[in-house]
Structure 1
Amino acid sequence: MIIAVDGPAAAGKGTLSRRIAETYGFHHLDTGLTYRATAKALLDAGLPLDDERVAADVALRIDLGGLDRDVLSAHDIGEAASKIAVMPAVRRALVEAQRQFASREPGTVLDGRDIGTIVCPDAKVKFYVTASPEIRARRRYDEILGKGGEAVLEDIFDDVRKRDERDMGRADSPLRPADDAHLLDTSEMSIEAAFMAARGIIDAAMMK
């Protein structure tokens, strides 16, 4: 069984996806980390970020079982990932790896921006998790401060808007909800409420 969870940054899709995977005993993959892992490998090797052939070659060798969220969450890695994520050859390489991951038994939960539309269009259940830009910026701001970091809320809000524009406006695999996706707007919804809503949909799908 494949469950696809898409949505913009800081909407809660990662937290929701991990909770679903844990509850049902499924494998989980944050597909955004595959782009970050590719970017980190390029940075570590001193390779250029603007050579699509080189980036795609590195993407083909990424181990999806060794993705360290804490390491890959670094800001410079995120900036580098945004540059290679628009390269069609890199996307093709990583999408194929993500599809292979999705075939694992007894089931998988993949979260990202093009899971229900491109990576796994035949997923049994699809969710599109979203929230207002203001709410998502505030969550990211609180997260950074909670870890002892420093941040300016207005700067984070600008970053969120720019990232949305980039993700939704790109020609290859733009961020958008699949036609058959269930919408979960977490602007005024706790993660527990979102999980319970998702669980009801998943349980119903598993009985069909």
Structure 2
Amino acid sequence: MYKKDFGNIPNKDKIISYLEEGYEKNPGKWVLHSRIIGKTAYNIAKEIGLDPDVAFACGALHDIGKMSGAKDAKHFLNGYKILRADSYFFPARIALSHSFQIQNIDSYVGKLNISDTDKEFVENFLTYTTYNDYDLLIQLLDAIIKAEYLGVEKRSQGVLEKHGSNPYFLQRKERIYQLEEYFQNKLKKPIKSYMPRQRWYKFPYSLYRNDHKNLQK
């Protein structure tokens, strides 16, 4: 579907198709995380004047680069390329920006396992991109929700244990707290309450029904 100021945005069926394909290629709870981020972004967007369809697409597809099994920096770069190839330019931007609460490539918590050419591209993107509320909302939700609500401290601790620290780690965490305050001031209820109820889903829970081993990934 076409959205003024955003261009082509995948509709619900296309988003589910992406996530189903992603699960088939690389099963794991990242699909559930993606769906939850998308639906939470949708619910928040309705209250703060953002386009819910755009917010849902950006949230649900922010990690779509993981469908290839990509890890660390490769996942956001692959997601950007996958969505760009299908002419979903704005969700592609969010796939790239969601990992950078601090607009400096060295702030990334994880391995920069990309080529020098791609690294230069990301550096230029961060230098010349002005974040808007869609960038900021997905950055926040990704930083406080996994497959359940964790909050800033618990989620940051998990990132630290998995990926280690870097000179920007504390600055990044402080920025997440700032984003939390920014959006909470716009909302009537706590951010956690905008998450969907589990029983609401037929997808992606159905994907896990007969595949309990993958729940551990």
- What is the TM-score when the length of structure 2 is the normalising length? 0.31
Higher relative contact order (CA 8 A, sep 6+): 1
Q: Which structure dedicates a bigger proportion of its chain to helix?
A: 2
